[in-house]
Chain A
């Protein structure tokens, strides 16, 4: 196993990116693996671009050097592209395929690029896994568990230095009891989408 693992989680404010990063950090502590997680706070609020980095193993700090990400996981396609400088040709890129239109586009001052071109472009940078996380989340119970679907997918690409069960356990420990079934389903469905 590699002695360092670098993961970049990106998306849009409100998608639960920070929650997902926090869960990955807690899972690492549970697995007794050294971990640092960087977060975005403050001005970046709902609707803004969000980016967290998680570093595991023999690491000293939370920031990822350019071109050294083992995985980029994005809850929105252009947000994966925004942080593509972290990728190298071996980087696994998981992205949800549903665009979230920024208000700069909805008011007509900027343009959202063609989604097919975005996905095609992403393929140039690493190994791309496209998933319909919105649909999977809804099938699992609610769109709100989209971040957990993404974590399930991440657990399926053989990047994490701990077992999938530890991650699922950590998720279930950190949510209210009544949402456990929905989160478990979301995680397993996300996992299965990749490992089919």
Chain B
């Protein structure tokens, strides 16, 4: 594996996320944990890939890795290892840190003995997220030192050096990334791989137990640590001033991927300017910032999302008695919304510096183009569950949903997703809707989501006798983020056998009195199961079990089994359009004369269309 090569000086192309994994290996990481989530997933998937390769060769992997039940558990597993003197990495998407925040905030009080890099992958523009929160606030909120890389190579170096900073300060460190870092490839210069420590040692100390008295004593230590962190920030190689041309009183302050756009735009516009590129953005190198402010007459702050640098620079300017002009979000030049790009920086800089923008207004095609929105795959078992649930009672139901592929059930023709907040919210909001309305409620969540944060609201429903139907779509994988294992699979992230936990056993243990276990590919039986669940007065759980079609077909191919392809007998077809207009499988299409066909290339051979066709017009065609 190229990523494991111990050839210092060699250049290889890596994804930003892979570069973070490499940086951790170069630091000698012992323990890595995660809950998968875009855009962070490939960091952990790379650890998993390496660990599985070792396991396959019957060798001990160089580190311990797990896909934890959720982000909070991930932080606790890796945190305890760091407290025991090991080097840990925990990665998650930005909203994952909300889940882990209870642990994070107090972890900052007690610190650690080894090293711990916590990676937050933020998603400006919500490419694949339910919000675009700026997790730099978490560094300020909890008091964590923070690094923000601009390129994959910098991400690798910041991870490697982040471990050193974390160990020196005996504090967890936040590596804050964004989608355009996580999902950008660039050349990496390899450094030597460090040997892990492997085993830690837990030294008993009453200060590890955060009673109120301990917490009061630890808080001043946290503030003292931040003072020391500021000294590191002053000397950090990641904070630097870059002169472009002959600077004459104008300065730019920037961090993260914004720096990339700023540098090229400034060069293209031939501006004479100096750039303060901040890589360690918490705590700020205060003296460096003060001197930068004093050396400029005007400053432009370029940062995506929240005005975090901007507000701090205004405070510093006030403290040093400077009346420098600061351009940024408060002056209306830059937006607090969405990710930036070269076009945005060109436009704003042209205004501020009064130069003609060389980027012309983008051309748009005069022809209207059809969209290609994401959809449930042909053969997806979720579609069958949705269809069956709708058949049980077609009208008057509210459908709270959750985070996963099944969120796509929101689209036509199913339209069975009515309310979504975050991981696990389906069942909690189901309870609230049952209290607030007279409607029947059927909620949906995936199996990975169930284990992540779906269990407490099920307990709430049972205990309070809420009249709801909670559905667990059990496809035996974390599908949306790339088919990672979870507590319901019989192997773990290192490729080792794991104890499988069954959803139905858990809900039984939670006291659910009415449990339906169904195979969604048997649509009529599944409809009956939903009918019984709806008739039950109280909390009913439907566990709809069928593996993700992509995994099922992959396994079939591996075993040498054929995957059938279905076709429509045009003589029997009465064009009732149930298959295309109500079931909505994307393998179906209209021919020019309005006849309906199935695309061989797209059909995944689930055969559910055979059951839903009232005229017996669909049957297997051939094998592919």
Contacts of B480 in A (CB 8 A): 42-43
Which residue of chain A has the shortest Cβ distance to B591 in the bound complex? A106
Most buried by B among A47, A66, A106: A106
Given A35-B187, A59-B264, CB of A108 within 8 Å of CB of B590: yes
Q: Which of A112-120, A153-161, A182-190 contacts the other chain?
A: A112-120
Contacts of A60 in B (CB 8 A): 150-151, 259-261, 263-264
Assess the A41–B39 pair: CB atoms within 8 A: yes
Within 8 A of A (CB), among B542-595: 580-581, 584, 586, 588-590
- Which applies to chain A's interface (DSSP): helix, strand, loop or mixed? loop
Q: Does B271 contact A (CB under 8 A)?
A: no
Which residue of chain B has the shortest Cβ distance to A121 in the bound complex? B367
Assess the B373–A104 pair: CB atoms within 8 A: yes
Assess the A67–B360 pair: CB atoms within 8 A: yes
Assess the A85–B374 pair: CB atoms within 8 A: no
Assess the B128–A61 pair: CB atoms within 8 A: no
Assess the A78–B370 pair: CB atoms within 8 A: yes
Assess the B372–A37 pair: CB atoms within 8 A: no
Assess the B342–A64 pair: CB atoms within 8 A: yes
Q: Does A107 contact B (CB under 8 A)?
A: yes
Contacts of B368 in A (CB 8 A): 111, 113
How close is B76's CB to chain A, nearest CB, in angstroms?
A: 27
Give the contacting residue for B186; candidates A35, A63, A64, A82; CB below 8 A: A35
Given A35-B186, A39-B15, A48-B374, CB of A106 within 8 Å of CB of B590: yes
Given A38-B183, A39-B15, A78-B370, CB of A85 within 8 Å of CB of B580: no
How close is A130's CB to chain B, nearest CB, in angstroms?
A: 16
Q: Does B442 contact A (CB under 8 A)?
A: no
Which residue of chain B has the shortest Cβ distance to A120 in the bound complex? B367
| Bound: A26/B362 CA distance, A | 30
Given A78-B369, A102-B370, A106-B586, CB of A42 within 8 Å of CB of B127: yes
Within 8 A of A (CB), among B337-394: 341-343, 346, 359-360, 362-375, 377
Contacts of B223 in A (CB 8 A): none
Assess the B586–A103 pair: CB atoms within 8 A: yes
Within 8 A of B (CB), among A25-62: 25-26, 28-29, 32, 34-49, 59-62
Assess the B359–A66 pair: CB atoms within 8 A: yes
Assess the A61–B261 pair: CB atoms within 8 A: yes
Q: Does B185 contact A (CB under 8 A)?
A: yes
What does the 1/0 interface line of B171-187 toward A look like (CB < 8 Å)?
00000000010011111
How close is A9's CB to chain B, nearest CB, in angstroms?
A: 13
Give the contacting residue for A36; candidates B38, B186, B481, B588; CB below 8 A: B186
Q: Does A110 contact B (CB under 8 A)?
A: yes
Within 8 A of A (CB), among B297-327: none
| Total interface residues in chain A, CB < 8 Å | 57
How close is A59's CB to chain B, nearest CB, in angstroms?
A: 7
| Bound: A133/B539 CA distance, A | 56
| Bound: A148/B134 CA distance, A | 39
How close is B142's CB to chain A, nearest CB, in angstroms?
A: 27
Give the contacting residue for B581; candidates A37, A49, A67, A107; CB below 8 A: A107
- The size bracket of the interface on B is 35 or more
Give the contacting residue for A118; candidates B263, B264, B367, B371; CB below 8 A: B367
Assess the A39–B586 pair: CB atoms within 8 A: no
Assess the A112–B584 pair: CB atoms within 8 A: no
Give the contacting residue for A65; candidates B15, B342, B369; CB below 8 A: B342
Contacts of A22 in B (CB 8 A): 13, 185
Assess the B11–A85 pair: CB atoms within 8 A: no
Assess the B187–A104 pair: CB atoms within 8 A: no
Q: Does A125 contact B (CB under 8 A)?
A: yes
Most buried by A among B13, B187, B366, B481: B13
What does the 1/0 interface line of A77-100 toward B look like (CB < 8 Å)?
010011011010000000000000
Assess the A113–B13 pair: CB atoms within 8 A: no
Which residue of chain A has the shortest Cβ distance to B264 in the bound complex? A60
Assess the A29–B187 pair: CB atoms within 8 A: yes
Q: Does B227 contact A (CB under 8 A)?
A: no
Assess the A37–B186 pair: CB atoms within 8 A: yes
Assess the B11–A29 pair: CB atoms within 8 A: yes
| Bound: A84/B186 CA distance, A | 25
Assess the A61–B257 pair: CB atoms within 8 A: yes
Which residue of chain B has the shortest Cβ distance to A111 in the bound complex? B370
Q: Does B12 contact A (CB under 8 A)?
A: yes
| Bound: A42/B36 CA distance, A | 11
How close is A138's CB to chain B, nearest CB, in angstroms?
A: 13
Assess the A48–B260 pair: CB atoms within 8 A: no
How close is A131's CB to chain B, nearest CB, in angstroms?
A: 20
Q: Does B463 contact A (CB under 8 A)?
A: no
Assess the B343–A66 pair: CB atoms within 8 A: yes
Contacts of A42 in B (CB 8 A): 38-39, 127-128, 480-481
Which residue of chain A has the shortest Cβ distance to B37 in the bound complex? A42
| Bound: A65/B269 CA distance, A | 14
Which residue of chain A has the shortest Cβ distance to B186 in the bound complex? A36
Assess the A66–B13 pair: CB atoms within 8 A: no
Assess the B12–A29 pair: CB atoms within 8 A: yes
Given A107-B580, A121-B365, CB of A47 within 8 Å of CB of B183: no
Assess the B369–A82 pair: CB atoms within 8 A: yes
Assess the A67–B367 pair: CB atoms within 8 A: no
Q: Does A105 contact B (CB under 8 A)?
A: yes
Q: Does A12 contact B (CB under 8 A)?
A: yes
| Bound: A46/B479 CA distance, A | 13
Q: Does B216 contact A (CB under 8 A)?
A: no
Which residue of chain A has the shortest Cβ distance to B407 in the bound complex? A43
| Bound: A26/B12 CA distance, A | 8
Contacts of A40 in B (CB 8 A): 183
Most buried by A among B128, B187, B364, B588: B187
| Bound: A29/B185 CA distance, A | 11
Assess the A63–B180 pair: CB atoms within 8 A: yes
Q: Does B508 contact A (CB under 8 A)?
A: no
Assess the A113–B369 pair: CB atoms within 8 A: yes
Q: Does B412 contact A (CB under 8 A)?
A: yes
Give the contacting residue for B185; candidates A37, A78, A87; CB below 8 A: A37
Give the contacting residue for A81; candidates B127, B151, B369, B580; CB below 8 A: B369
Contacts of A68 in B (CB 8 A): 359
Contacts of A121 in B (CB 8 A): 365-367
Assess the A12–B372 pair: CB atoms within 8 A: yes
How close is A39's CB to chain B, nearest CB, in angstroms?
A: 5
Assess the A106–B342 pair: CB atoms within 8 A: no
Contacts of A125 in B (CB 8 A): 363
Most buried by B among A34, A40, A62: A62
Assess the A44–B187 pair: CB atoms within 8 A: no
Given A37-B184, A106-B588, CB of A46 within 8 Å of CB of B377: yes
9 more contacts with CB within 8 A, not counting A87-B363, A104-B370, are A12-B372, A41-B128, A44-B374, A46-B377, A63-B341, A81-B365, A106-B586, A106-B590, A112-B370
Q: Which residues of B contact A (CB under 8 A)?
A: 11-13, 15, 38-39, 41-42, 127-128, 150-151, 180, 183-187, 257, 259-261, 263-264, 341-343, 346, 359-360, 362-375, 377, 412, 480-481, 580-581, 584, 586, 588-590, 599, 602
Task: Please list 8 pairs of residues, one from A and one from B, whose beta carbons are closer than 8 Å in the complex, sorted by A's number.
Answer: A21-B185, A42-B39, A44-B374, A49-B371, A61-B150, A63-B261, A63-B341, A107-B586
Q: Please provide the 7 A-B residue pairs with the shortest distance between their CB atoms, ordered closest to farther.
A: A61-B260, A106-B589, A85-B362, A42-B128, A42-B38, A103-B586, A65-B342
